[in-house]
């Protein structure tokens, strides 16, 4: 990595160097520790007087910037001094049973020196009780050793409590509670039921009684469960029926049985139960003994009764008793004189009748009736009658009301018997009747009239039968008028109305004559306004404007007029004119033009320079499409200049972004469901609440992001701050962080977190501790293949923000995983020095905080997690926030230049903050600047280069959307965090438009920003970046690396442009008074190329 230089100037550096050399000399001259401590303190005071950086920041500001260096400890030398009379001494630390020692257990220590620190670590199932010399802390650091020391660490098994409880209905036999060593067994305990009760199970599901718990590894509380005694209740069915319900029940003592019902079979009925009860259904209450009863049934007999209605009598047995299913005897209905038998009351017309297969009681009445007549009503042509005919009427009665209804276009005239009553009712009927309704066709009057400005030809008014047509009528306009329409909207002229179904009156409408005025656009432009007008004779047309396309100018209208906008007055004839354009671009200095290629048709741009001096331009084509595009840029007639056609290499996919995308996919799939995996046992997750230093943790350190499998590790809390908790994996390699390292690291991280949350929003708090947990773990080291020099230092996984219902392997909290120092290369033979890890963790944490803020708010809102380029760009922008929080006085929208960082009273803080945080983004942006044509900005699969450009683009967009307001800039970034969609869809919603034009303008800004030749274009507007002066800052990092092309006279360049942001910066010159032609040709079908042409001078 390239870093910013140290601050303070040569004089300050020499002063510090002098103080340091004097202090070191004193150290070497005095072998006694007390003297060295005093001298070292003087050295520290000298350095502190020159800088107030935290140790981690000071280290981060320089760790990758100092050439050479062995990275080892300096040690101390006593050469030339007299040796102590006593020493060295043997210092040994021995582990007792149940634990181990971490750190050097056997040491040789010189008199007055400190032994190296060691720690007593208990094995699983044990706990540390103290050292043999009375020291009670697991970690010990013996200082000023002046005698041999031999101590041992003491451990004891963990103990667990077994608690047995008795539920209602019983007691326990045996000891409860019991204290049992880890892994051993308890003593037997028996569940004893009370009288009338029985033992069912223990509350953990076990039915063993008595029970003895073996191999105890945790506290246990179980309760014996009891239940009441029961009785058997049975219900049987006798012949002729059945019983429904639960016929064989087990009922608790004193409880009620469930209801049962006795159902009689065919030809039977229920009589009683065998215990004398006639209740049916029956429910036996308060059962205190076994019970068996039988339902009893009997054959059923039915009664048949026959009755005569008015007008007749019956013969036969009129009151019969018939067994179920048997037949009765015959009965005859005899009508009185003048009456007729109609039917029986059940609808039967049998007479005589014999009822067979009797299954129920019945009472049947014979129905008799008097003589009736038929009334028939018919409809003649043109109508209908209702109700339906014929009608049957009793002698002397009245018929129904009947209505004659004419069809559409007809009218009722009379009935065939001469009656005109309608409706009609025939009364006192004494004979049959047949009549017909007679109808006639309707007629209508059709009237035509002429409005002002004309007259009519033809007959008006006309009388027309329903459904027929009129004779033609013509609207004749007066001179100078034209026929418009009839008052009913018809424009037919002459008109014939057919068919006529109602009276009609219409008027012919006339108007003054009008003309068609049309405005067309030739190639290279368009016309705005009403381009197809209808204008009355002598009136004025409305104004239209000829609008040239990008790269074109308006020349004239096809009738020779150069008026623009134009308004044609006093129109007396039709008019069609065309706006004519040409594509000669005469750009003023710092003026720009834009355009687009959407076909493979070559696009010519004629660039003219009428001035007296040579002009220089930059053409910036940008591919905004989803696929790669081949583009040729050719020029003719331009002035010579040194040609340049840099190539560049497309960056490989970024492993961090790929792993992040995969982890997001796994977490997204698990959301809102019940996970298929199994939580680790014993449980592995962050405890709720704020931990204390020394607290043990058990966490899942499987970093593949899966919710189905996990890998548990034990860890210890090392430091607790206001915003951060640091814990370390107990299995980390030797040579890791000391207590002082954790304290220094915590100070740096605690100061950085509020800056990130202030910019992007608050973290969620799944584990209710108000902090993010940083777990230093070898699991991160294990992700890097053997013998690999580069790696990712910090990770987060979205699965940890899910609950364990959806994701059983979640740690359920805000946690990031950081690489552990590994100075010996114990993991995959990859050496990871303490200093390098310590310097990289703040950078990685700031980035992962961006991910965790974005993931948390989307999980809570139910919106999709984002695994696209956008999530990486937002997380990379968190590094900006961390920088601003630690840079003392610098904010966005300041157009920060190199001197803002490296000079002034706060330069040391700003350089440290730059190198710790923002320099990582500058490092990723560099490969895009070096090869912008072959690297995307909004990449489907991000690389380091596309991540850098997407970060720069997001900052550019935030600056441009802010309108100069810091709060508006923050609101824009937070809108990307919250969604509601992912990737480009979210960006489109935040911008309020598709991002294509923004990408095109960003590509120009990469060249023009703070470029002297670009003038005001490079300091404001769409071609400027308002927060960072990249040209200035890269000047302190080896120079601004943007690759540009240049076209010599009459040459061309063909390149493949990467999708979604691949661009090129092509310079060319046009001599004074000359014209050059640029030809842009897309060699790929359906291109989506936008281009900008800027005159620089």
Residue where a domain terminates, one of 414, 441, 468: 441
Q: Are residues 970 and 958 in the same domain?
A: yes
Q: Are residues 568 and 697 in the same domain?
A: no
Q: What is the CA radius of gyration of the chain?
A: 51
Instruction: Quote the pLDDT of residue 73.
Output: 33
Instruction: Quote the pLDDT of residue 283.
Output: 96
Q: How many C-beta atoms surround the C-beta of residue 1052 within 10 A? A: 14
Q: Are residues 726 and 805 in the same domain?
A: yes
pLDDT, tens digit (0-9, with 9 covering 90-100), for 570-600: 998 999 999 998 777 889 999 999 999 999 9
Residue that has been written with the tokens 């032609």 in this structure = 1077
3-state secondary structure of 446: strand
**CB-based burial label for 630 (10 Å; 0-12, 13-18, 19+):** middle
**Is 596 inside a domain boundary?**
yes
Q: Are residues 689 and 801 in the same domain?
A: yes
∠ CA 41-914-720, rounded to 5°: 60
Confidence of residue 551 (pLDDT cuts 50, 70, 90): low
**Is 767 inside a domain boundary?**
yes
pLDDT, tens digit (0-9, with 9 covering 90-100), for 216-247: 999 999 999 998 888 899 999 999 999 999 99
**Is 286 inside a domain boundary?**
yes
Residue where a domain terminates, one of 582, 611, 628: 582
**Is 351 inside a domain boundary?**
yes
Confidence of residue 643 (pLDDT cuts 50, 70, 90): very high
Q: Please provide residue 888's backbone torsions phi and psi, each rounded to the nearest 5 degrees.
A: 60, 85
Which residue segment(s) compose the domain that 257 sits in?
230-299
Instruction: Quote the pLDDT of residue 52.
Output: 41
H runs (alpha helix) in 862-995: 869-886, 898-902, 907-913, 919-930, 944-962, 966-978, 983-991
61-82 mean pLDDT: 35
Q: Are residues 178 and 222 in the same domain?
A: yes
667-674 mean pLDDT: 88
Q: Are residues 451 and 571 in the same domain?
A: no
**Is 663 inside a domain boundary?**
no
**CB-based burial label for 860 (10 Å; 0-12, 13-18, 19+):** exposed
* Domain CATH number, residue 346: 2.60.40
3-state secondary structure of 968: helix
**CB-based burial label for 388 (10 Å; 0-12, 13-18, 19+):** exposed
Q: How many C-beta atoms surround the C-beta of residue 128 within 10 A? A: 19
Q: How many C-beta atoms surround the C-beta of residue 171 within 10 A? A: 12
Per DSSP, the residues of 336-356 read: PTT-EEEEETTS---SSB---
Angstrom distance (rounded) from CA 481 to CA 513: 5
**Cβ(377)–Cβ(402) under 8 Å?**
yes
Quote the percentage of the chain above a pLDDT of 90.
80
**Cβ(375)–Cβ(391) under 8 Å?**
yes
Angstrom distance (rounded) from CA 317 to CA 305: 9
Q: Are residues 234 and 220 in the same domain?
A: no
Q: Are residues 715 and 822 in the same domain?
A: yes
- Both tokens of 1007, joined, read 């060249």
pLDDT, tens digit (0-9, with 9 covering 90-100), for 339-361: 789 999 999 999 999 999 898 89
Strand order in the sheet with 481-486: 462-465, 443-450, 504-512, 481-486
**Is 79 inside a domain boundary?**
no
First to last CA, the chain: 36
**Is 193 inside a domain boundary?**
yes
**Cβ(582)–Cβ(524) under 8 Å?**
yes
Which of the two residues, 423 and 67, has the higher pLDDT score? 423
Instruction: Quote the pLDDT of residue 615.
Output: 97
Tell me how many domains the chain contains: 11
Q: Are residues 462 and 556 in the same domain?
A: no
Contacts of 10 (CB under 8 A, 6+ apart): none
pLDDT, tens digit (0-9, with 9 covering 90-100), for 793-826: 999 999 999 999 999 999 999 999 999 999 999 9
pLDDT, tens digit (0-9, with 9 covering 90-100), for 736-753: 999 999 999 999 999 999
Confidence of residue 1 (pLDDT cuts 50, 70, 90): low
Q: Are residues 742 and 842 in the same domain?
A: yes
pLDDT, tens digit (0-9, with 9 covering 90-100), for 838-883: 999 999 999 999 999 999 999 999 999 999 999 999 999 999 999 9
* Domain CATH number, residue 605: 2.60.120.680
Q: Are residues 1069 and 1034 in the same domain?
A: no
**Is 3 inside a domain boundary?**
no
Q: Are residues 607 and 756 in the same domain?
A: no
The answer to whether residue 14 scores a pLDDT higher than 50 is no
Per DSSP, the residues of 817-857 read: EEEPPBTT-TTTT--B-HHHHHHHHHHHHHHHHHHHHHHHH
Angstrom distance (rounded) from CA 185 to CA 200: 24
Residue where a domain terminates, one of 156, 174, 207: 156
Fill in the DSSP letter of residue 914: I
The answer to whether residue 36 scores a pLDDT higher than 70 is no
Angstrom distance (rounded) from CA 621 to CA 777: 47
């Amino acid at each position: 990595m390239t870093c910013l230089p140290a601050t303070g100037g040569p004089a300050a550096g020499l002063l510090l160097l002098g103080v340091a050399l004097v202090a070191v000399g004193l150290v070497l001259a005095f072998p006694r520790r007390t003297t060295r401590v005093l001298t070292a303190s003087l050295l520290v005071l000298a350095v502190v007087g020159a800088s107030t950086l935290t140790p981690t920041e000071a280290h981060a500001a320089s760790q990758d910037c100092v050439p050479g260096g062995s990275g080892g400890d300096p040690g101390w030398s006593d050469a030339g001094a007299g040796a102590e009379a006593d020493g060295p001494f043997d210092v040994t630390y021995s582990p007792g049973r149940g634990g181990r020692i971490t750190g050097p257990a056997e040491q040789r220590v010189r008199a007055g020196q400190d032994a190296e620190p060691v720690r007593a670590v208990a094995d699983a199932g044990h706990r540390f009780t103290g050292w043999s010399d009375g020291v009670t802390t697991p970690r010990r650091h013996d200082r000023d050793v002046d005698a041999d020391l031999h101590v041992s660490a003491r451990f004891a098994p963990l103990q667990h409590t077994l608690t047995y409880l008795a539920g209602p209905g019983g007691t326990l036999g045996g000891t409860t509670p019991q204290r049992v060593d880890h892994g051993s067994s308890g003593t037997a305990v028996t569940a004893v039921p009370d009288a009338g009760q029985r033992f069912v199970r223990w509350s953990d599901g076990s039915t063993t009684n008595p029970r003895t718990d073996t191999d105890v590894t945790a506290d246990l509380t179980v309760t014996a469960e009891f239940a009441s005694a029961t009785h058997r209740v049975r219900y049987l069915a006798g012949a002729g029926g059945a019983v429904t319900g639960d016929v064989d029940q087990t009922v608790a003592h004193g409880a009620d049985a469930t209801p049962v019902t006795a159902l009689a079979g065919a030809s039977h009925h229920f009589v009683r139960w065998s215990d004398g009860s006639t209740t049916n259904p029956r429910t036996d209450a308060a059962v205190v003994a076994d019970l068996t009863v039988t339902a009893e049934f009997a054959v059923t007999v039915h009664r048949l009764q026959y009755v005569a209605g008015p007008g007749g009598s019956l013969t036969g047995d009129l009151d019969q008793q018939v067994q179920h299913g048997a037949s009765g005897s015959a009965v005859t209905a005899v009508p009185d004189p003048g009456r007729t038998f109609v039917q029986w009351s059940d609808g039967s017309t049998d007479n005589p009748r014999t009822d067979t297969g009797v299954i129920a009681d019945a009472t049947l009445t014979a129905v008799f009736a008097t003589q009736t007549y038929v009334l028939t009503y018919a409809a003649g042509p043109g109508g209908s009658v209702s109700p339906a005919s014929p009608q049957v009427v009793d002698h002397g009665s009245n018929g129904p009301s009947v209505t004659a209804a004419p069809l559409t276009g007809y009218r009722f005239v009379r009935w065939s018997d001469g009656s005109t009553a309608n409706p009609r009712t025939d009364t006192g009927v004494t004979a049959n009747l047949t009549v017909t309704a007679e109808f006639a066709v309707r007629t209508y009057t059709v009237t035509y009239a002429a409005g002002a400005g004309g007259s009519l030809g033809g007959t008006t008014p006309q009388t027309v039968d329903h459904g027929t047509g009129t004779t033609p009528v013509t609207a004749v306009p007066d001179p100078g008028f034209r026929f418009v329409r009839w008052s009913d909207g018809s424009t037919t002229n002459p008109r014939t109305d057919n068919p006529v179904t109602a009276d009609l009156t219409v008027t012919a409408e006339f108007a003054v004559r009008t003309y068609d005025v049309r405005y067309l656009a030739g190639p290279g432009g368009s016309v705005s306004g009403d381009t197809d007008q209808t204008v009355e004779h002598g009136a004025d047309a409305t104004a239209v404007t000829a609008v040239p396309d990008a790269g074109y100018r308006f020349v004239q209208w096809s009738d020779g007029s150069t008026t623009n906008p134009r308004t044609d007055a006093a129109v007396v004839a039709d008019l069609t004119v065309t706006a004519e354009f040409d594509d000669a671009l005469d750009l003023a200095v710092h003026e720009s033009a834009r355009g687009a290629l959407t076909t493979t048709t070559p696009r010519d741009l004629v660039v003219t320079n009428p001035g007296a001096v040579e002009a220089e331009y930059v053409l910036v084509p940008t591919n905004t499409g989803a696929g790669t595009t081949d583009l040729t840029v050719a020029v003719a007639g331009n002035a010579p200049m040194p040609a340049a056609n840099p190539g560049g290499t497309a960056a490989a996919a970024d492993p961090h972004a790929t792993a992040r995308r995969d982890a997001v996919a796994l977490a997204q799939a698990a959301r809102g469901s019940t996970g298929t995996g199994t939580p680790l046992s014993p449980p592995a997750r962050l405890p709720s609440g704020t931990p204390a230093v020394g607290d043990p943790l058990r966490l899942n350190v499987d970093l593949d992001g899966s919710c189905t499998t996990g890998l548990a590790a034990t860890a210890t809390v090392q430091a607790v701050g206001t915003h951060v908790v640091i814990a370390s994996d107990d299995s980390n390699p030797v040579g890791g962080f000391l207590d002082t390292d954790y304290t220094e690291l915590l100070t740096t991280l605690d100061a950085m977190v509020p800056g990130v949350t202030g910019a992007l929003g608050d973290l969620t708090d799944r584990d209710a501790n108000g902090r993010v947990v940083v777990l230093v773990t070898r699991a991160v080291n294990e992700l890097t293949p053997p013998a690999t020099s580069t790696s990712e230092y910090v990770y987060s996984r979205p699965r940890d923000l899910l609950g364990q219902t959806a994701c059983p392997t979640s740690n359920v909290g805000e946690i990031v995983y950081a690489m552990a120092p590994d100075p010996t290369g114990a993991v995959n033979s990859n050496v990871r020095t303490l200093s390098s890890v310590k310097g990289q963790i703040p950078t990685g944490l700031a980035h992962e905080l961006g991910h965790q803020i974005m993931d948390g708010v989307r999980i809570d809102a139910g919106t999709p997690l984002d695994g696209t380029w956008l999530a990486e760009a937002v997380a990379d922008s968190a590094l900006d926030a961390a920088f601003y929080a630690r840079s003392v006085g610098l904010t966005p929208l300041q157009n920060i230049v190199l001197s803002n960082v490296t000079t002034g009273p706060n330069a040391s803080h700003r350089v440290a903050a730059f190198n710790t945080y923002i320099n990582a983004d500058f490092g990723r942006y560099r490969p895009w600047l070096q090869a912008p044509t072959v690297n995307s900005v909004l990449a489907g699969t991000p690389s380091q280069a596309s991540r850098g450009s997407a970060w720069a683009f997001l900052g550019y967009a935030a600056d441009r959307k802010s309108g100069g307001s810091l709060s508006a800039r923050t609101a824009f970034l937070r809108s990307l965090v919250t969604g509601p969609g992912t990737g480009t869809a979210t960006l489109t919603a935040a911008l309020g438009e598709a991002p294509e034009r923004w990408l095109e303008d960003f590509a120009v800004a990469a060249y023009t920003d703070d470029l002297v030749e670009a003038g005001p274009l490079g300091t404001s507007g769409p071609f400027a970046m308002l927060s960072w002066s990249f040209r200035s800052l890269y000047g302190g990092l080896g120079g601004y690396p943007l690759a540009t092309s240049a076209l010599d006279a009459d040459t061309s360049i063909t390149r493949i442009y990467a999708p979604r942001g691949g661009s090129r910066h092509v310079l060319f010159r046009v001599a004074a008074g000359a014209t050059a032609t640029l030809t842009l040709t897309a060699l790929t079908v359906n291109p989506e190329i936008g281009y900008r042409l800027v005159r620089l001078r």
